Amino acid sequence: MVTEALPLQPITGSGPWRGLTGLTGAEVRRWLPWRALVMAAVGIGVLVLFFAIWRIAGAEAEGRLGVLMIPFFSLWAIALTLVTATAAQGAVAGEVDEGTAAWLMGMPIGRPAFIVSKVLGAVPGVLAAVFGAGLIAYPVFSYASSVEIRAFSARDILDTARMPIGSDGFMELPATSEYLGLLVRMSLFLLVLVALMVLLGAIFRSAGMVLGLGVVLAVGLFVVGVMDIAGVVDATPAGLISGLLDAVQAESAPLVGPVLVSLLWTFGLTGLAAVRFQRRDL
């Protein structure tokens, strides 16, 4: 068979972001409403548990917000980390394993768009879950501390120094702005975790391996954050955990630095995932 040869030339305009909007929309629908509801329900469940304990303690716990708030945030953060890691484990590894990634990449979709959509699409769900449960918890803390909810003020943002918690559990209710900052820290930590799971999914095919490694690394960040290891905390998302614990205990905790560091880590992990996924066989 004779066919006329065509001069070969490199293709241009490959559009790595093509399909980002559609994929992100689809991913948002995966997180909202059900995953977010489950995550929020976990928070509310933990709140109910510790509120019940606080109530049972009766007069001994009266006005001692620390007895309720510190255990709540500690367990909530750990539970949300596990739930988020489980929810995000299949974001890439699952799609590759089930063959849906091959279906998507057979259409005019850029591989970077696929990866970025996995992180972007998780943002509304994570925010809804953290702020949903967190904002339900705040009036409960107000009730427990016998302190009225303070109105938002610009001064609250600047004045991050709170009365330190005493060994007797007495502490002041965080101002709304500080409390929102606390929820922002929690949300950002979960988004870093999502990006980490996406990167692991771009490297490993087994969803079990992705989940296992993701949880181990997240726990490692927790430990670094709790131990407040200087230098490491400042340079990693562990600063969010460290700041979260400080803020819960109404101590001074910087917000801007850890937020920027965490955003950089989220971008970095997502970028690495995109590079790795670019050459992955599907």
Partner 1 sequence: MTTTGGPIIEVNGLYKRYGKVEALRGMDLMVPRGTVFGFLGPNGAGKSTTMKILMGLVNPTRGEAFLFGRDALHAGPAARSRIGYLPQDPEFHTDRTVREILKFAGRLYSGGMNPLTLRRRVDSLIERVGLVGKARRRVRALSGGERQRLGIAQALIGEPELLILDEPSAGLDPRGRREVIDLIDDVRQHTTVFYSTHILDDVQRVSDAVAVVGGGRMLAQGSIVEILGTPTDTYTAILRGEPDGLRGRVGNEPWVAGVETTQRGELEEWTVRLADESAADRLLPLLAGQKGCDVIEFHLSDRSLEDAYLEIVGDTHGE
Q: Pick from 77, 109, 139, 143 the residue near partner 1 by CB under 8 A.
A: 109
Tell me the Ramachandran region of residue 253: left when phi exceeds 0, alpha when psi lies from -120 to 50, beta otherwise: beta
Stretch that binds partner 1, among 83-91, 96-104, 183-191, 200-208 (CB under 8 A): 96-104
Q: Pick from 98, 146, 152, 153 the residue near partner 1 by CB under 8 A.
A: 98
Q: Does 167 bind partner 1 (CB under 8 A)?
A: no
Q: Pick from 45, 49, 100, 252 the residue near partner 1 by CB under 8 A.
A: 100
Give min distance, CB of 274 to partner 1, in A: 13
Question: Between residues 22 and 254, which has the closer beta carbon with respect to partner 1?
Answer: 22
Give min distance, CB of 117 to partner 1, in A: 12
Report whether 170 contacts 65 (CB < 8 A). yes
Residue type, 267: F
Q: Does 121 bind partner 1 (CB under 8 A)?
A: no
- Could you give the C-alpha distances from 161 to 255, 260, 279, in angstroms and in order? 12, 21, 49
The footprint of partner 1 on residues 11-70 (CB under 8 A) is 11-16, 18-19, 22, 26
Quickly count: other Cβ atoms within 10 Å of residue 18's Cβ.
Answer: 16
Q: Please report, in angstroms and rounded to a whole number, the separation of the first and last CA atoms in the chain.
A: 33
Q: Pick from 56, 58, 106, 230 the residue near partner 1 by CB under 8 A.
A: 106
- The DSSP-derived string for 49-87 is HHHHHHHHHGGGGTT-HHHHHHHHHHHHHHHHHHHHHHH
Question: Between residues 20 and 218, which has the closer beta carbon with respect to partner 1?
Answer: 20
Binding site for partner 1 (CB under 8 A): 1, 3-16, 18-19, 22, 26, 98-100, 102-103, 105-110, 279, 281-282
